[in-house]
Chain A
Amino acid sequence: MARYDSIVIGGGLVGSAVAYGLARLGSRVALLDEGDVAFRASRGNFGLVWVQSKGLGVPEYQRWTRQSSVLWDDFAVELKKETGIDCQHEHRGGVHVCINENDFAERRKYMEQLHIESGETSFQYDMLDHAELKKLMPEIGPEVAGASYTPYDGAANPLYLLRSLHAGLIRRGGQYFPQSKVTELKAAPNDFTVTGGGVTFNAPKLVLAAGLGNKDLGALVGLNVPVQPVRGQILVTERVQPVLSMLTIWVRQMAEGGLLIGESREEAGFNDATTPDVQQFLAARAIKMFPFLRDVRIVRHWSALRVMAPDGLPIYEQSKEYSGAFVATCHSGVTLAAAHAMRYAKYVADGVLSAELARFTNKRFDVQAAA
């Protein structure tokens, strides 16, 4: 039996960020991962470090997201220094494009509400009409009504981030076990024995970061994790010369030159197929935003399953029955990666989740269940 200080189940963006964070605090970490073909929400991530659309009605979420976006600056530098891998992090603000006047009016109301709810953290934003937007982005389409802008938004390369977190974990003495889907889990307070890939691991701390798999795993440690899949599809284009002047929602250009075009939100169960109707919808919307895209080819059409709680917020919790067992799920694995590595991991190491995460307790679902 292999003994560690912490076992993290799930080698995606959440699991590897938490594992890296624990390792950098000196914990001896075993990171267990599935095989090469699995749902892996992380591979379908758009890669935004997005603040301006988060947390309407939930100021705690807005704060957690903003905090992560601030931590990201140092986080990216640290990962580059640690692993040599550049996550291509940019933090120069972002634009949420409003296709028509109706969207623009709705968006203005939305942003104003976020501003009011932000209180002393003072969420700042600008509404840009078509002419103002065109000054910043000459490539914007003539039909676009305008956009909202905040300086808080940024982006990174989700695949390089994942690779970097894995490399960083190993450099800090952590161990990565692929092809090790959990087949058995025996729990006692601060004492967890996990078998995966034919190997048995034991540690006083356990973190469930297995995405959609958290539901079943959670049940074994007294944690209710009611996550459901919400499908998202993304189109990827061939490489082109730099052409987008600003970071926008739904269409972004990666450092290599290819553009990502997203995204859909579908209830499709555990089906990660791609569909022609969404393909056509995404293409049409992208062309409306940036008419030059008409002649650009797509080389891939992805689909992945978001890990979604009923209210769309993260779930952070420690098991009451089995102290030392934690869960972390969200659908913004890149945005929150810095917070997961630099904050959440510390709470796990200390054995108690901070009050700032109280809003994300899974007890909020008990009320719903009782109702």
Chain B
Amino acid sequence: MSIYPAVDALVEEFKATGRVVIVGASLAGLRAAEALRAEGFDGHLTIIGDEPYEPYDRPPLSKQVLKGVPADHTKLPRVRAIDADWRLGVAATGLDRAAKQVRLANGDQIRYDRLLIATGSRARPWFNPAEAALQGVFTIRTRDDAARLQEALAAGPARVLVIGAGFVGSEVASICRELGLAVTVAERGSAPLVGALGGVIGAIAADMQCDHGVDLRLGVGVTSLEGDASGHVRRAQLSDGTTVDADVVLASLGSIRNTEWLEGAGLAAGVSGVGCDAGCRALDINGVVTDSIYVAGDIARTPHPLYEYQFLSMEHWDNAVLGAEVAAHNMITLEADRWPHLLLPTFWSGQFGVNIKSVGVCSFGDEIVFTQGSVKQRRFAAAYGRRGRIVAAVTFDHGKWLEYYADLIERSAPFPPPAPGFDRPADMTPVPAEFPDPGGPTAMAEVVLTGHDPSERQAQYMPRRRLGPAVSPDSSTRKRGVS
């Protein structure tokens, strides 16, 4: 309640007659819509989605669906009726903040009072478009992707090649082995899962893959894919000079955030997502918070108090659910009652018969210590630390202990943490966690500053264009410098 009755009346009027537009009809978009209705929003609600399907759950797509559960069985359960105007199968293509309108691919303009950006990310395609177009080359992100890959796997290919050993690639490799298919996994890094969990855990994941009969090639990239006369992929060339014969190729190269439609809208949007405050309010390109635009799900980058207030993208299921609820709440609430989105991120991945779970941000740590169980038996817990405090934990078939570590992380407990007095490993010495070097700056500026007077000073977006072979601006600058 506000001390100003007129403000309360405005809030009530907004809840009764306001217009909320949600762009993105996946987990975050649906949960936000349900939360809005649960909190008493009775106004007009529009949900825009580029896929023709009602919201579905993605985690089963790289697991159950590939084993034969139909892809259309993943529609998300509804917790309440949301009485929305669904605009499915039509992408949002632009945002006009001055007119408060979202532009759609079919030319329609949808007006909003409050906007939720939840457009998530898409699979990074194979870099060579001609090779990507070969039959038998797949990515996996959507329902249709999963249905096509399932069909290809069910046809009994002689060998599957998985490019990239992140969680999705590793899960698909696991399913291939369950289906009795020969599978090669090619990973540029030193180990599977190395980006998310570091080299120490990655080495264990590598052993798991090898024990299950995966032909694992580490430290190699795939340089090209070759097709036969009918346009079906048959072979891959690897950077170490070897070749792999495969008739199904999955490119699991991570994701690209769907921010292109926000170009020119003046928001803090770019390849790393859309920046927002911890209350899910979008930042404009100058870093100033907006009042009517909110962000949730994979596309959101938000400062996290536990991690030195760094802007984090938490591309996990729980982030979509909780972020959507917080964004929805804050959309229809006055400042004094707003909620912060303070998620301790968690995720899971079932692969090769092991349940891998994690809490916190592992890659924020630089040391790791095994605290429980046995690496040999692949039943263990390990904690990640940075500067003497615990920042994350990972478990292999030890998920019941995750809450214990979550509690320590929330309290910024010392690292190495006190191990529960049970099932302790022989060696509890912290070692480097071996995350890959994030590398130097990309030298691809997206934003420049212009103007001198405070009223003119502003950031300006310089969209990155990918035309033909990538030319690094860094190298061209150096050439100019030399000449």
Are A and B part of the same complex?
Answer: no
Binding site for A on B (CB under 8 A): none
Binding site for B on A (CB under 8 A): none
